[in-house]
Amino acid sequence: MREALCYKRKGQLFFQQKKIPRKSKVLRRLGVKKNTFAGNMMARVYDYYFQGSVNFRKEYRKYYRKEFSSIEIFIEERFNIKHDEAVKIAAGNYSMKECSCRSIERNIETLNYDEAFRQAFSEAIGGLDDEDPDGIYYE
């Protein structure tokens, strides 16, 4: 089995944008047609996880280069991530998406209670490693 492309920790999803397949490819892998109920639902799930994500390297270069001396320090201080994880994230050019109770479409998370759905979506995007297999986050 290959390594997962996405990691979900404490309501935050970390992934490398270039390795995530496009929405159309995910829909094709799942066998759903665009503009149908199933297609719209899968598109919403895909958007919930990947649209509007923060690319750390791009954000640092665009806004915070003068304020922080390195991208590792930027990730550590701005997003409150441990130093060793910040170094790994900076080296891998990761993006982050907030998928916690502060997210707008929190009701999409309830779909994760269906094990077959979770497994199918995980395989379609290349693997999603979730620290909380129940999908419940206590914050």
pLDDT (tens digit per residue) in 42-88: 888 888 888 888 888 888 989 999 899 999 999 888 888 888 888 88
pLDDT computed for residue 133 by the predictor? 58
pLDDT, tens digit, 9 for 90 and up, residues 91-123: 888 888 877 665 556 667 667 667 788 788 888
Query: In total, how many domains does the chain have?
Result: 1
Under 8 Å between Cβ of 120 and 38: no
Q: Measure the CA–CA gap between 139 and 136, rounded to whole angstroms.
A: 10
Query: Residue 73 falls within a domain, yes or no?
Result: yes
Look up the domain containing 111 and give its range: 6-125
Query: Residue 40 falls within a domain, yes or no?
Result: yes
Query: Residue 59 falls within a domain, yes or no?
Result: yes
Asked whether residue 26 carries a pLDDT value surpassing 80, the answer given is: yes
Q: Measure the CA–CA gap between 119 and 127, rounded to whole angstroms.
A: 9
* Token output for 74: 């930027």
Q: Which residues of 25-44 are buried (b: 16+ CB within 10 A; e: fewer)?
A: ebbebbebeeeeeeeeebbe
User: Is the pTM value of this prediction over 0.85?
Assistant: no
Query: Which residue from 77, 102, 68, 79 is spatially nearest to 14, judged by alpha carbons?
Result: 79
Query: Residue 99 falls within a domain, yes or no?
Result: yes
The secondary structure of residue 32, as a DSSP letter, is -
